[in-house]
Structure 1
Amino acid sequence: MASDDSGAARAGLAERPSLMSLVRLRGDTAMPLYQQVEEQIYDLITSGLLPPGSVLPAERQLAESLGVSRVTVQRAYAALRQRKLLDSQGRRGFLVRTRPDQVQPGMDRLKGFTEEMRELGKIPSTRILDRIVVQDRSISSIFGLPANAPFLRLTRIRYGDEIPMSREVAWYNLGAAPALEHGDLTGSVYAFLAEHAGTRLVRCDQTVEATMPTAEECAIFDFEGPAPCLLIKRCSFTADAMMIEYVEGLFRGDMYRYRLTLRA
């Protein structure tokens, strides 16, 4: 029976298309060749066509097959290693890594990180890096408040199942919610506002853009080098249109994929 199983496994591997047959380079695009190789392999891994444990060809072998320089493949593989997708196996090639499942939260309603993680079946936790009362002219202009208005600036790392998911810097309007200055903010700020300040956030304006992390943020996410991330900026309001929060959250691109439902 064992030999039959191993034979079936070998047959399954034989039926799987080779990487060389799946990567198609284009000459009618401004995208560099190394980036084309990187992005196509990334898509193959995330789609499951190259599952964890798959062995990719050595750099020279893939370069010869694709008709490109070895440096091109080296750069593509290096970028995929930075994205925690590959492990080097020396002369044998590269191994597709097993990694935590991506989270796919929806953007259908206002909710904080803690609630979002719980909805996804993960245990949320927080580490506070910095907490200080500040006056900031540029932040005051975002809130539409005088330049000397006091804000609580809160810098936190947010975790899901002990994996660092985001680094966020948030400013809170202490004139509207003074209880935040000395409150316990290791959990949900939104829950604290509702329970201890009688303030409920009901609406937000939010933008999402692609960006690259700083060296400090790479260290937080355990990246070997800069990898694409999502920068989410949010302004949150009460029912009477009082702005309470402005937050800039950097979410790791290898773990987050936002899901939207659009209706006609």
Structure 2
Amino acid sequence: MLKLDFVGNEPLYVQITRHLQSLIQSGELPEGSTLPSERRLAEMVGVSRITAQHSYNELRRRGVISSHGRRGSIVRRPENRILSPMNQLRGFTQEMVELGKTPSSRVVKREVTRNHQVATIFGLPSTTPLLYLERIRYADDVPLSNEKAWYNLSVAPELAEAEVTGSVYEQLARLGHPLSYCDQVIDAILPGNDDCAIFGIDPSAPCILIKRQSFSHAEQMLEYVEGTFRGDVYSYRMTLQV
């Protein structure tokens, strides 16, 4: 049983968090173990439910446990942080393969749509048909990215019927529209409700939002994508030269 120091300066939730993480790292609480409910944990160690909740939230932020509705909080599989170099235009599939991971995707939504706001980003009339593709991207079966992408069907109409569970970039190359370069913006954000459910993280956990505009050799914009990546697992590395 965990014995807490109620008179010292260290917050109680920090002590609980450290103890639980130690049990997880030692294997005493293996992957898939169900932790006590917040109420039960509070009763076991003699703290308020808010303190127990704070501790669980911190463990979720660290990616150590995840929430599964009525199943409660589950110990997650240990994960190594992914350090991805940012020195070349590559898709998620190629990136994961180069990092020694097995990539996969789940298509959440796929449709031909007309979106005035996105068409403006492409510099196209609002009535231009675009392929909208919403996918969850995995590495070794771990969800890393919640991706929403639009593709210019006026340039690559064949993409509307193409296979999209793998690399869309490879499909574009096969169709005669290889990408040449991209403009990319990276922001730090908090996850939305969908992101929390997909990644099993707390709403306070940091995420990375990548907005990318990708162009062909003919300077035609083919793709606009917004990908939310887990900040607890995913990092970018850049090499800068004078």
- Normalising to structure 2: TM-score of the pair? 0.74
- Which structure is higher in RCO with an 8 Å CA cutoff and minimum separation 6? 2
Could you say which residue in structure 1 is the equivalent of 2:207? 229
Matching residue within 145, 167, 177 for 1:188:
167
Is 1:153 equivalent to 2:132 in the alignment? yes
CA contact (8 A) 2:151 2:224 kept: yes
How far apart, CA to CA, are the structure 2 residues paired with 1:139 and 1:193? 20
Does residue 81 in structure 1 map to residue 59 in structure 2? yes
1:163 CA displacement = 0.8
**CA 1:166–1:86: 2 relative to 1, 3 Å:** closer
Gaps of 5+ in 2: 29-40, 43-47, 67-74
Whichever structure has more strand as a proportion of its residues is 2
Matched AA of 1:247: V
The answer (yes or no) to whether the contact 1:114–1:188 under 8 Å persists in 2 is yes
**In the alignment, structure 1 residue 125 sits paired with structure 2 residue 113:** no
CA offset at residue 241 of structure 1? 1.0
5+ residue gaps, structure 1, are 1-19, 26-32, 46-50, 60-69, 88-95
Q: Name the counterpart of 1:143.
A: 122
State the Cα RMSD in Å: 3.4
Closer, same or farther: CA 54–76 of 1 in aligned 2, 3 Å: farther
Q: Which aligned pairs between 1:13-32 and structure 2 lie closer than 5 A?
A: none
The structure number with the bigger radius of gyration is 1
Partner residue, 1:63: none
Q: What is the percentage of aligned positions where both structures have the same residue?
A: 43
Q: 2:196 matched to which residue of 1?
A: 218
Asked if the contact 1:218–1:226 (Cα under 8 Å) also holds between the matched residues in 2, the reply is: no
In the other structure, the counterpart of 2:230 is 252
Structure 1 ranges of 4+ moved more than 4 A: 70-76
Out of 143, 152, 155, the residue aligned to residue 176 of structure 1 is: 155
Q: Paired residues, what number?
A: 209
Contact 1:53 1:97 in 2 (8 A): no
Q: Which has the higher helix share?
A: 1
- Tell me if structure 1 keeps the 8 A contact 2:89–2:182: yes
